[in-house]
Amino acid sequence: MSTTFPTFDFSDYRVVIAGGSKGIGRAMALAFAQAGAAVSICARGTEALEATGKELAETGAKVHVARCDLANADSVARYIEHAADALGGIDVLVNNGSGFGFSDDEDSWQRGLSVDVLAPVRASRHALPWLKASAHASILNIVSIAALRPRGGGAPYAAVKAAMTSYTSSQALALASDGIRVNAIAPGSIKFPGGLWEEREQNAPEVHDRTLANIPFGRFGEPEEIAGPALFLASPLAGWITGHTLVVDGGQMLNG
């Protein structure tokens, strides 16, 4: 017996993506918009933010775009409030920002804790009144496979992503009584123009090539390959899934 599943329809959803101007964030924003959602994105850099805002507007979706420093508590609070006002509420909150703290120094740890951990905590807290009023509320935290295994380098990045993986399950338990699902996606190595792996291909080719050789499919992932799982986890098809971290890595972790 064959089963036919509907395509994603987010036409009555309001989706807020904290960190949505480039890479995975941009791909998720466009995917939600193309599926009919009203979408708000924020980022710190103006150029990429405005460019992605124009792409989103071309889909015909209702769009809100704002600058936000995710490391700053007041900036996060203002962004969530303005996004909710612009969209008329919040149904899905996607926490996608990262400070990319790879060096074992004070600055990397501070950026990681501020952007990768405290920004999602703050955004979730401020979005809660609107999420509680939603009939299909969910939170999606973008973490990393770095959270799931020890690393010889980049300990701050791995540690803060591990913290968010733990927080996702605790958050899911705490918010279940409000009907709010909370999940995470742990991407593997994703390559896109202007991103980390393009930079490493140019400046640290040995790291780039070693990582590529460790991926069973023989290629880096693409941002759109994270956007699809994001739509699934935010949709009614995942209505009985909460507290889960979904690894999307092309089998990268299978090689250790």
What is the arrangement of strands in the sheet containing 181-187, beginning at the earlier edge strand?
63-67, 38-43, 14-18, 92-95, 138-142, 181-187, 245-248
Q: Among residues 13, 79, 157, 167, which one is catalytic?
A: 157
- Classify residue 39 by its DSSP letter: E
Annotation marks residue 157 as catalytic: yes
Report the C-alpha gap between 44 and 99 in whole angstroms. 11
* Residue 251 three-state SS: coil
Residue from 173, 76, 90 nearest 127 by CA: 90
230, containing H or E segment: helix 224-234
Active site residues: 157
